[in-house]
């Protein structure tokens, strides 16, 4: 089968780096590819194309694609919620007496300051910064 030189499946959009989110296909990209593929005549020995039969495969793929998209959204939401929860917990420690470890010593003192660096919380005890994972005990200030 010869393909004419002027044959095209659709329009090609130019995407700049600032517009491109990642190397992943969006739902719209998938739908455009699926529509273009359905319009193409089927090659001998192939299923799909405009001859029918392959459309259910595309619908299954679309359902899987949408499910993955939803799972990604849920994962991103959970990560955001987790960071916000961590930040709220850290702010609640201000003025509390904590016992922390710096891998060799135990240090006890009030939380003097809470800092956020790239979304992660650190606390300052006795002039030294610690991650929340370093906290062993929390109590009211004596």
Domain that holds residue 14: 1-92
Cα(27)–Cα(17) distance, integer angstroms:
19
> Residues 119, 83: contact at Cβ < 8 Å?
yes
| Strand partners of residue 82 | none
Three-state secondary structure readout of 35-75:
HHHHHCCCCCCCCCHHHCCCHHHHHHHHHHHHHHHHHHHHH
Instruction: Kindly report, residue by residue over 11-30, the tens digit of the pLDDT.
Output: 444 445 444 555 566 777 77
C-alpha 51: how far from chain center: 38
3 lies in the same domain as 35: yes
Name which residue leads in pLDDT, 125 or 59. 125
**Model confidence band, residue 33 (pLDDT cutoffs 50, 70, 90):** confident
CATH of the domain at 108: 2.30.30
Decide if pLDDT at 8 tops 70: no
Least confident of 56-70, 71-85, 114-128: 56-70
Domain count, the chain: 2
């Amino acid at each position: 089968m010869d393909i004419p030189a002027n044959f095209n499946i659709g329009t090609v959009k130019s995407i700049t780096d600032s517009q491109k989110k990642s190397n992943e296909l969006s739902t719209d990209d998938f739908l455009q590819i699926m529509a273009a593929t359905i319009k193409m005549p089927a090659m001998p020995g192939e299923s799909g194309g405009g001859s029918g039969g392959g459309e259910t495969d595309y619908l299954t793929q679309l359902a899987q694609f949408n499910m993955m998209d939803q799972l990604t959204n849920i994962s991103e939401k959970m990560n955001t919620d987790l960071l916000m929860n961590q930040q709220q917990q850290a702010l609640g420690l201000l003025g509390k007496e904590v016992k922390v470890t710096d891998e060799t010593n135990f240090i006890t003192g009030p939380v003097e300051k809470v800092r956020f660096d790239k979304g992660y919380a650190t606390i300052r005890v006795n002039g030294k910064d610690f991650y929340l994972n370093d906290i062993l005990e929390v109590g009211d200030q004596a």
